[in-house]
Structure 1
Amino acid sequence: MKYYQYQHRVQYHETDQMGIVHHSNYIKWLEEARNEYLREQGISCRQLEELGILLPVIEVNCSYKQRTYYDDIVTIKVFIKELSRVIITFGYEIKKDGELLLLASTKQSFVNQDFKPFSLERERADIWEVICGEE
């Protein structure tokens, strides 16, 4: 399984009145890590959009394990968990110093500019291979 690791330092504005990271910020971190994963594979979200390929998020699942605080440096591991012709599911693990903080997944659909699902593997095999990391 190919994966990418992304580091993020928790900013003060990402914390809530209790002094811990607000739950909504983890979703933003997942997006940051996912975008960097795609760049690492050789294509950015901007390039996909310029090609008429959109990847809207259709489902997010998060299981919060431990709290995260201001100035913590977390490592976000992202990988392709499941892949079909029209759906890609990314898996994530967020850790600090090896301790698991969050398990998550996002499910996204390959759609065209009219938001109609299409088979990326069939219609754009070149892009499919880049995203999947196939040679």
Structure 2
Amino acid sequence: MGLSSKTNLRVRYAETDQMGVVYHSNYLIWFEVGRSELFRVLNLPYTEFEKQGLSLAVVEANCRYRKPAHYDDELTVVTKIETMTSRSITFTYLIYCDERLLTEGKTVHVFLNKEGHLADVRKYEIWQSLQPVFEKQEASIPTPR
């Protein structure tokens, strides 16, 4: 089980402006596509969180645009879990067209319960599936000397 995934997609005409350049907000949508696919790779589709009364709210998002994407470009979204705690997950994203890095991004999410309050995911059944991800992520952090 890895902590990253790659998702391929093609830029649709509706995602571009009159110049054929991708409109800036679409990158955040593609980040969501990458997150959803990463959870699927980890055998944790987002629907499993919802069934248990959990949601992941975005509390921070940023995007650095390096080069534009255009209509019909084939893109690769690389999504990684940067950090994970029992209350939040931080994802990082790289979007490429061929070998060219177009965009870098990051989103921070918190776990919320059905009432919309901050939740500790360890109190939910899904933690049994998330715990190995958490432990793998913790093991990948170098220890200070």
TM-score (norm 1): 0.91
Q: Matched residue pairs, number? A: 133
Structure 1 residues 56-104: Cα deviation after superposition (integer angstroms, max 9, x where no partner): 1111110000010000001000010122221110000001111110000
Separation (CA, whole Å) in 2 of partners of 1:86 and 1:46:
18
Aligned partner of 2:123 in structure 1 is 123
Name structure 1 gaps, 5 residues minimum.
none
- Residue 131 (structure 1) shift: 5.0
Structure 1 residues 27-57: Cα deviation after superposition (integer angstroms, max 9, x where no partner): 1111011001101101111121011111011
- Residue 132 (structure 1) shift: 3.9
Name structure 2 gaps, 5 residues minimum.
137-145
How large is the RMSD of aligned CA atoms in angstroms? 1.6
Aligned partner of 1:25 in structure 2 is 26
1:41 and 1:133 in contact (8 A); partners too? no
- Residue 2 (structure 1) shift: 2.4
Q: Secondary structure at the match of 1:92?
A: strand
Separation (CA, whole Å) in 2 of partners of 1:127 and 1:106:
22
Separation (CA, whole Å) in 2 of partners of 1:92 and 1:84:
19
TM-score (norm 2): 0.85
Identity score, percent: 33
